[in-house]
Structure 1
Protein backbone atom coordinates (compact mmCIF):
# COMPACT_ATOMS: atom_id res chain seq x y z
CA UNK A 1 0.00 0.00 0.00
CA UNK A 2 2.81 2.43 0.90
CA UNK A 3 4.87 1.46 -2.17
CA UNK A 4 1.96 2.43 -4.39
CA UNK A 5 2.09 6.06 -3.28
CA UNK A 6 5.68 6.58 -2.03
CA UNK A 7 8.92 6.43 -4.04
CA UNK A 8 10.79 4.17 -1.62
CA UNK A 9 14.04 4.25 -3.61
CA UNK A 10 14.10 8.05 -3.59
CA UNK A 11 13.24 8.06 0.10
CA UNK A 12 16.19 5.77 0.79
CA UNK A 13 18.47 8.04 -1.25
CA UNK A 14 17.34 11.02 0.81
CA UNK A 15 18.20 9.27 4.06
CA UNK A 16 21.78 8.81 2.81
CA UNK A 17 22.18 12.60 2.60
CA UNK A 18 21.02 13.25 6.16
CA UNK A 19 23.72 14.46 8.58
CA UNK A 20 24.85 12.11 11.30
CA UNK A 21 22.92 12.34 14.52
CA UNK A 22 24.72 13.84 17.48
CA UNK A 23 25.38 11.64 20.45
CA UNK A 24 22.88 12.22 23.24
CA UNK A 25 24.40 12.57 26.67
CA UNK A 26 22.97 10.00 29.07
CA UNK A 27 20.72 11.26 31.82
CA UNK A 28 22.82 11.47 34.96
CA UNK A 29 21.91 9.13 37.78
CA UNK A 30 19.85 10.90 40.43
CA UNK A 31 21.71 11.87 43.59
CA UNK A 32 21.16 10.06 46.85
CA UNK A 33 17.99 11.64 48.22
CA UNK A 34 18.38 13.79 51.31
CA UNK A 35 14.81 15.13 51.34
CA UNK A 36 11.51 13.28 51.79
CA UNK A 37 8.41 14.80 50.19
CA UNK A 38 5.02 13.39 51.12
CA UNK A 39 2.64 13.14 48.17
CA UNK A 40 -1.12 12.51 48.36
CA UNK A 41 -1.93 9.69 45.93
CA UNK A 42 -5.40 8.19 46.20
CA UNK A 43 -8.90 8.43 44.73
CA UNK A 44 -9.11 12.12 45.62
CA UNK A 45 -5.71 13.30 44.39
CA UNK A 46 -4.10 11.93 41.24
CA UNK A 47 -3.39 14.79 38.82
CA UNK A 48 0.39 14.48 38.55
CA UNK A 49 2.65 14.54 35.49
CA UNK A 50 4.99 11.52 35.52
CA UNK A 51 7.98 13.53 34.29
CA UNK A 52 7.39 16.14 36.99
CA UNK A 53 7.44 13.38 39.60
CA UNK A 54 10.65 12.01 38.09
CA UNK A 55 12.21 15.46 38.50
CA UNK A 56 11.96 15.12 42.28
CA UNK A 57 14.53 12.32 42.21
CA UNK A 58 16.87 14.41 40.05
CA UNK A 59 16.53 17.20 42.62
CA UNK A 60 17.53 14.87 45.44
CA UNK A 61 14.08 14.18 46.89
CA UNK A 62 12.29 10.92 47.60
CA UNK A 63 8.52 10.97 47.13
CA UNK A 64 6.64 9.26 49.96
CA UNK A 65 3.02 8.46 49.00
CA UNK A 66 0.18 8.59 51.49
CA UNK A 67 -3.59 8.11 51.26
CA UNK A 68 -5.58 11.15 52.40
CA UNK A 69 -8.74 9.06 52.70
CA UNK A 70 -7.43 6.35 55.00
CA UNK A 71 -4.01 7.09 56.53
CA UNK A 72 -4.41 8.50 60.05
CA UNK A 73 -1.13 10.42 60.01
CA UNK A 74 1.52 11.84 57.72
CA UNK A 75 4.65 9.80 57.02
CA UNK A 76 8.07 11.02 58.18
CA UNK A 77 8.61 13.86 55.69
CA UNK A 78 10.41 17.16 55.17
CA UNK A 79 7.85 18.62 52.74
CA UNK A 80 4.37 18.00 51.38
CA UNK A 81 2.82 18.00 47.86
CA UNK A 82 -0.94 17.74 47.33
CA UNK A 83 -1.86 17.84 43.66
CA UNK A 84 -5.11 18.14 41.79
CA UNK A 85 -7.91 15.63 41.50
CA UNK A 86 -11.54 15.26 42.46
CA UNK A 87 -11.73 15.88 46.22
CA UNK A 88 -15.41 16.77 45.88
CA UNK A 89 -16.23 13.16 44.92
CA UNK A 90 -14.44 11.91 48.03
CA UNK A 91 -15.25 14.74 50.40
CA UNK A 92 -17.13 12.60 52.91
CA UNK A 93 -14.18 10.24 53.31
CA UNK A 94 -11.69 13.12 53.39
CA UNK A 95 -13.72 14.86 56.07
CA UNK A 96 -14.15 11.64 58.07
CA UNK A 97 -10.36 11.25 58.28
CA UNK A 98 -10.13 13.87 61.00
CA UNK A 99 -6.79 12.65 62.43
CA UNK A 100 -5.00 13.26 59.12
CA UNK A 101 -6.72 16.61 58.56
CA UNK A 102 -5.56 17.72 61.99
CA UNK A 103 -2.04 16.40 61.37
CA UNK A 104 -1.74 18.28 58.07
CA UNK A 105 -3.05 21.53 59.57
CA UNK A 106 -0.67 21.28 62.51
CA UNK A 107 2.30 20.43 60.28
CA UNK A 108 1.68 23.41 58.00
CA UNK A 109 1.15 25.75 60.94
CA UNK A 110 4.48 24.51 62.30
CA UNK A 111 6.20 25.49 59.05
CA UNK A 112 6.22 22.32 56.92
CA UNK A 113 7.04 23.37 53.33
CA UNK A 114 3.92 22.51 51.34
CA UNK A 115 2.76 22.91 47.76
CA UNK A 116 -0.89 22.38 46.77
CA UNK A 117 -2.53 22.65 43.35
CA UNK A 118 -6.24 23.02 42.59
CA UNK A 119 -7.85 20.03 44.36
CA UNK A 120 -5.09 20.23 46.95
CA UNK A 121 -5.97 23.88 47.56
CA UNK A 122 -9.63 22.96 47.98
CA UNK A 123 -8.73 20.25 50.51
CA UNK A 124 -6.77 22.74 52.61
CA UNK A 125 -9.76 25.13 52.88
CA UNK A 126 -12.18 25.25 55.82
CA UNK A 127 -14.93 23.46 53.92
CA UNK A 128 -15.84 21.97 50.56
CA UNK A 129 -19.36 22.52 49.25
CA UNK A 130 -20.85 20.46 46.42
CA UNK A 131 -24.38 19.45 45.41
CA UNK A 132 -26.01 20.99 48.48
CA UNK A 133 -23.63 19.13 50.79
CA UNK A 134 -20.85 20.56 52.91
CA UNK A 135 -17.83 18.78 54.38
CA UNK A 136 -15.19 20.06 56.76
CA UNK A 137 -11.69 20.09 55.31
CA UNK A 138 -8.21 20.82 56.71
CA UNK A 139 -8.86 24.47 57.52
CA UNK A 140 -5.39 25.98 57.12
CA UNK A 141 -6.64 28.15 54.22
CA UNK A 142 -9.23 30.59 55.64
CA UNK A 143 -11.76 30.16 52.85
CA UNK A 144 -14.57 27.89 51.71
CA UNK A 145 -14.39 26.01 48.40
CA UNK A 146 -17.64 25.99 46.41
CA UNK A 147 -18.19 23.74 43.40
CA UNK A 148 -20.07 25.55 40.61
CA UNK A 149 -22.07 24.33 37.62
CA UNK A 150 -19.69 25.97 35.15
CA UNK A 151 -15.88 26.14 35.04
CA UNK A 152 -14.48 29.04 37.05
CA UNK A 153 -11.12 28.79 35.33
CA UNK A 154 -10.22 26.88 32.18
CA UNK A 155 -7.27 27.02 29.80
CA UNK A 156 -3.72 28.30 29.72
CA UNK A 157 -2.59 30.81 32.31
CA UNK A 158 0.26 33.24 32.71
CA UNK A 159 1.49 34.82 35.89
CA UNK A 160 4.38 36.80 37.28
CA UNK A 161 5.80 35.73 40.65
CA UNK A 162 5.61 38.41 43.32
CA UNK A 163 8.21 39.22 45.96
CA UNK A 164 6.17 37.08 48.37
CA UNK A 165 6.87 33.86 46.48
CA UNK A 166 8.50 31.53 49.03
CA UNK A 167 10.64 29.60 46.53
CA UNK A 168 12.20 32.63 44.87
CA UNK A 169 10.83 31.93 41.39
CA UNK A 170 12.45 33.76 38.50
CA UNK A 171 10.96 37.12 37.61
CA UNK A 172 9.91 36.10 34.11
CA UNK A 173 6.33 35.29 33.22
CA UNK A 174 5.37 31.70 34.07
CA UNK A 175 3.03 29.74 31.82
CA UNK A 176 0.73 27.17 33.41
CA UNK A 177 -2.85 25.94 33.03
CA UNK A 178 -6.04 25.62 35.06
CA UNK A 179 -9.33 23.75 34.91
CA UNK A 180 -11.57 24.04 37.94
CA UNK A 181 -15.24 24.28 38.73
CA UNK A 182 -14.48 25.53 42.22
CA UNK A 183 -14.12 29.03 43.52
CA UNK A 184 -13.07 30.22 46.96
CA UNK A 185 -15.48 32.23 49.08
CA UNK A 186 -15.13 34.25 52.30
CA UNK A 187 -11.49 35.08 51.63
CA UNK A 188 -10.00 37.65 54.02
CA UNK A 189 -8.66 40.72 52.23
CA UNK A 190 -5.29 40.60 53.96
CA UNK A 191 -4.16 37.29 52.45
CA UNK A 192 -0.78 37.19 50.69
CA UNK A 193 -0.52 36.00 47.09
CA UNK A 194 2.60 34.93 45.20
CA UNK A 195 1.30 35.23 41.62
CA UNK A 196 0.00 38.19 39.64
CA UNK A 197 -2.26 36.68 36.98
CA UNK A 198 -1.84 38.13 33.47
CA UNK A 199 -3.96 35.47 31.77
CA UNK A 200 -6.54 33.20 33.36
CA UNK A 201 -8.57 33.26 36.57
CA UNK A 202 -6.45 31.93 39.42
CA UNK A 203 -8.05 32.44 42.82
CA UNK A 204 -9.34 36.00 42.55
CA UNK A 205 -9.18 36.75 38.83
CA UNK A 206 -6.02 38.78 39.38
CA UNK A 207 -4.13 36.75 41.99
CA UNK A 208 -3.17 33.13 42.61
CA UNK A 209 -0.77 31.23 44.82
CA UNK A 210 -1.74 31.86 48.44
CA UNK A 211 1.19 32.02 50.85
CA UNK A 212 0.39 30.90 54.40
CA UNK A 213 3.30 29.90 56.65
CA UNK A 214 5.49 27.86 54.25
CA UNK A 215 2.47 26.80 52.18
CA UNK A 216 2.01 27.80 48.55
CA UNK A 217 -1.45 26.88 47.23
CA UNK A 218 -3.20 27.89 44.02
CA UNK A 219 -5.43 26.85 41.16
CA UNK A 220 -2.68 26.96 38.51
CA UNK A 221 -1.08 23.65 37.52
CA UNK A 222 2.65 24.06 36.94
CA UNK A 223 4.81 22.06 34.53
CA UNK A 224 8.45 21.40 35.29
CA UNK A 225 10.34 22.83 32.31
CA UNK A 226 13.81 24.33 31.70
CA UNK A 227 12.27 27.80 31.92
CA UNK A 228 10.31 26.94 35.07
CA UNK A 229 12.11 24.22 37.07
CA UNK A 230 9.60 24.46 39.90
CA UNK A 231 10.40 21.02 41.31
CA UNK A 232 14.04 21.87 41.98
CA UNK A 233 13.00 25.21 43.50
CA UNK A 234 10.47 23.59 45.82
CA UNK A 235 12.92 20.86 46.84
CA UNK A 236 15.67 23.41 47.52
CA UNK A 237 13.26 25.51 49.58
CA UNK A 238 12.39 22.38 51.57
CA UNK A 239 16.08 21.53 51.97
CA UNK A 240 16.93 24.99 53.27
CA UNK A 241 14.08 24.80 55.77
CA UNK A 242 15.23 21.38 56.94
CA UNK A 243 18.77 22.57 57.61
CA UNK A 244 17.88 25.83 59.34
Structure 2
Protein backbone atom coordinates (compact mmCIF):
# COMPACT_ATOMS: atom_id res chain seq x y z
CA UNK A 1 0.00 0.00 0.00
CA UNK A 2 1.41 3.46 -0.86
CA UNK A 3 2.24 5.95 1.86
CA UNK A 4 -0.14 8.93 1.88
CA UNK A 5 1.92 11.80 3.24
CA UNK A 6 1.55 15.43 2.23
CA UNK A 7 -2.10 15.16 1.30
CA UNK A 8 -5.22 16.23 3.10
CA UNK A 9 -5.95 13.53 5.72
CA UNK A 10 -9.67 14.07 5.23
CA UNK A 11 -9.41 12.96 1.59
CA UNK A 12 -7.34 9.86 2.41
CA UNK A 13 -8.73 8.90 5.82
CA UNK A 14 -9.62 5.33 4.88
CA UNK A 15 -6.20 4.69 3.30
CA UNK A 16 -4.40 6.20 6.28
CA UNK A 17 -6.50 4.16 8.73
CA UNK A 18 -5.78 0.98 6.75
CA UNK A 19 -2.03 1.65 6.69
CA UNK A 20 -1.46 0.50 10.27
CA UNK A 21 2.28 -0.08 9.85
CA UNK A 22 2.80 3.50 8.64
CA UNK A 23 0.73 5.01 11.46
CA UNK A 24 2.58 2.86 14.01
CA UNK A 25 5.99 3.77 12.57
CA UNK A 26 5.26 7.50 12.78
CA UNK A 27 4.02 7.20 16.39
CA UNK A 28 7.06 5.09 17.32
CA UNK A 29 9.45 7.58 15.68
CA UNK A 30 7.84 10.42 17.64
CA UNK A 31 8.03 8.44 20.90
CA UNK A 32 11.72 7.75 20.22
CA UNK A 33 12.45 11.46 19.80
CA UNK A 34 12.74 11.82 16.03
CA UNK A 35 12.26 15.51 15.14
CA UNK A 36 8.92 15.92 13.38
CA UNK A 37 7.60 19.25 12.15
CA UNK A 38 4.02 19.21 10.83
CA UNK A 39 1.69 21.88 9.51
CA UNK A 40 -2.09 21.67 9.08
CA UNK A 41 -2.74 18.28 7.41
CA UNK A 42 0.37 16.92 9.13
CA UNK A 43 -1.02 18.12 12.46
CA UNK A 44 -4.28 16.30 11.76
CA UNK A 45 -2.46 13.10 10.76
CA UNK A 46 -0.54 13.17 14.05
CA UNK A 47 -3.84 13.21 15.94
CA UNK A 48 -5.70 10.25 17.40
CA UNK A 49 -8.51 10.17 14.82
CA UNK A 50 -10.74 12.06 12.40
CA UNK A 51 -14.52 11.77 12.16
CA UNK A 52 -15.96 12.03 8.66
CA UNK A 53 -19.64 11.53 7.84
CA UNK A 54 -20.20 9.82 11.20
CA UNK A 55 -17.31 7.35 10.84
CA UNK A 56 -14.15 7.63 12.95
CA UNK A 57 -10.81 6.82 11.31
CA UNK A 58 -7.70 6.18 13.42
CA UNK A 59 -4.62 8.29 12.69
CA UNK A 60 -1.04 8.23 14.01
CA UNK A 61 -1.98 8.89 17.64
CA UNK A 62 1.01 11.06 18.52
CA UNK A 63 -1.34 13.65 20.03
CA UNK A 64 -4.59 12.91 21.90
CA UNK A 65 -6.80 14.87 19.49
CA UNK A 66 -9.89 13.89 17.53
CA UNK A 67 -10.75 16.06 14.53
CA UNK A 68 -13.80 16.48 12.32
CA UNK A 69 -14.58 18.69 9.35
CA UNK A 70 -16.85 21.72 9.02
CA UNK A 71 -18.49 23.06 5.89
CA UNK A 72 -17.18 26.53 6.77
CA UNK A 73 -13.58 27.69 7.18
CA UNK A 74 -12.36 27.48 10.79
CA UNK A 75 -9.17 29.42 10.19
CA UNK A 76 -8.65 31.56 7.11
CA UNK A 77 -6.16 34.32 6.37
CA UNK A 78 -2.82 35.66 7.44
CA UNK A 79 -1.49 34.59 10.80
CA UNK A 80 1.38 35.44 13.09
CA UNK A 81 2.65 33.86 16.28
CA UNK A 82 5.30 34.32 18.91
CA UNK A 83 7.14 31.37 20.40
CA UNK A 84 6.62 31.34 24.15
CA UNK A 85 7.59 27.76 25.09
CA UNK A 86 10.76 25.76 24.59
CA UNK A 87 10.57 23.54 21.52
CA UNK A 88 13.03 21.82 19.17
CA UNK A 89 12.58 24.20 16.21
CA UNK A 90 12.19 27.85 17.22
CA UNK A 91 13.99 29.95 19.86
CA UNK A 92 11.86 31.59 22.54
CA UNK A 93 10.58 35.00 21.47
CA UNK A 94 10.75 34.25 17.75
CA UNK A 95 7.98 35.95 15.76
CA UNK A 96 6.75 34.09 12.69
CA UNK A 97 4.25 34.96 9.96
CA UNK A 98 2.18 32.59 7.89
CA UNK A 99 -1.37 31.79 6.95
CA UNK A 100 -4.21 29.49 7.91
CA UNK A 101 -6.77 27.83 5.68
CA UNK A 102 -8.63 24.97 7.24
CA UNK A 103 -12.02 23.41 7.64
CA UNK A 104 -11.01 21.00 10.39
CA UNK A 105 -12.45 21.23 13.88
CA UNK A 106 -10.92 20.01 17.14
CA UNK A 107 -13.65 17.72 18.47
CA UNK A 108 -11.78 16.63 21.58
CA UNK A 109 -8.32 17.11 23.00
CA UNK A 110 -6.81 15.59 26.11
CA UNK A 111 -4.32 18.41 26.58
CA UNK A 112 -3.93 21.90 27.90
CA UNK A 113 -2.25 25.25 27.22
CA UNK A 114 1.07 23.87 28.49
CA UNK A 115 1.08 21.54 25.47
CA UNK A 116 0.97 24.46 23.01
CA UNK A 117 4.20 26.33 22.29
CA UNK A 118 2.94 29.31 20.28
CA UNK A 119 0.85 32.38 21.12
CA UNK A 120 -1.17 33.63 18.15
CA UNK A 121 -0.85 37.36 17.53
CA UNK A 122 -3.07 37.07 14.45
CA UNK A 123 -5.19 34.13 13.33
CA UNK A 124 -7.03 31.30 15.02
CA UNK A 125 -4.42 28.67 15.82
CA UNK A 126 -5.25 25.33 17.42
CA UNK A 127 -7.25 26.49 20.43
CA UNK A 128 -7.62 29.58 22.60
CA UNK A 129 -5.40 31.75 20.34
CA UNK A 130 -2.58 29.21 20.77
CA UNK A 131 -0.98 26.87 18.27
CA UNK A 132 1.88 24.40 18.11
CA UNK A 133 1.18 21.09 19.83
CA UNK A 134 4.37 19.98 21.45
CA UNK A 135 5.56 16.54 22.51
CA UNK A 136 9.23 15.57 22.81
CA UNK A 137 10.77 16.59 19.44
CA UNK A 138 7.43 17.00 17.65
CA UNK A 139 5.91 20.38 16.85
CA UNK A 140 2.61 20.37 14.96
CA UNK A 141 0.71 23.53 14.10
CA UNK A 142 -2.18 24.75 11.98
CA UNK A 143 -0.21 27.75 10.75
CA UNK A 144 1.48 27.37 7.37
CA UNK A 145 4.74 29.21 7.98
CA UNK A 146 5.98 31.64 5.35
CA UNK A 147 9.33 29.89 4.98
CA UNK A 148 11.15 32.51 2.83
CA UNK A 149 10.37 35.13 5.48
CA UNK A 150 11.24 32.83 8.38
CA UNK A 151 14.87 31.70 8.23
CA UNK A 152 14.46 30.40 11.79
CA UNK A 153 12.29 27.60 10.38
CA UNK A 154 15.02 26.00 8.24
CA UNK A 155 17.72 26.63 10.84
CA UNK A 156 15.60 25.00 13.54
CA UNK A 157 14.81 22.00 11.39
CA UNK A 158 18.49 21.45 10.58
CA UNK A 159 19.52 21.95 14.22
CA UNK A 160 16.95 19.44 15.45
CA UNK A 161 18.09 16.90 12.87
CA UNK A 162 21.78 17.40 13.76
CA UNK A 163 21.07 17.02 17.48
CA UNK A 164 19.18 13.82 16.83
Distance 2:94 2:25 in 1: 36
- Aligned residue for 2:29, secondary structure, equals helix
Cα distance per residue 1:161-215 (max 9 Å; x no partner): 1132322336242111010100223212435111100111110041100111110
Q: Which runs of 5+ in 1 are unaligned?
A: 1-66, 70-81
TM-score (norm 2): 0.90
Q: Which runs of 5+ in 2 are unaligned?
A: none
Of 189, 198, 201 in structure 1, the residue corresponding to residue 121 of structure 2 is 198
* Aligned residue in 2 for 1:207: 130
* Aligned residue in 2 for 1:231: 154
1:182 aligns with 2:100: no
TM-score (norm 1): 0.62
Q: Is the 8 A contact 1:194 1:209 kept in 2?
A: yes
Displacement over 6 Å in runs of 4+: none
Cα distance per residue 1:60-102 (max 9 Å; x no partner): xxxxxxx524xxxxxxxxxxxx65x321111000110001101
Map 1:72-221; keep pairs closer than 5 Å: 83=6, 85-169=7-91, 171-190=93-112, 191-221=114-144
Residues matched between the structures, number: 162
Distance 2:91 2:147 in 1: 12
Q: Is the 8 A contact 2:51 2:69 kept in 1?
A: yes
Distance 2:124 2:150 in 1: 22
- Aligned residue for 2:148, secondary structure, equals coil
Distance 1:102 1:184 in 2: 22
CA RMSD, Structure 1 to Structure 2 (Å): 1.7
Label 1:145 to 1:220 Cα distance change in 2 as closer, same or farther (>3 A). Answer: same
Q: Which has the larger radius of gyration?
A: 1
Distance 2:67 2:146 in 1: 24
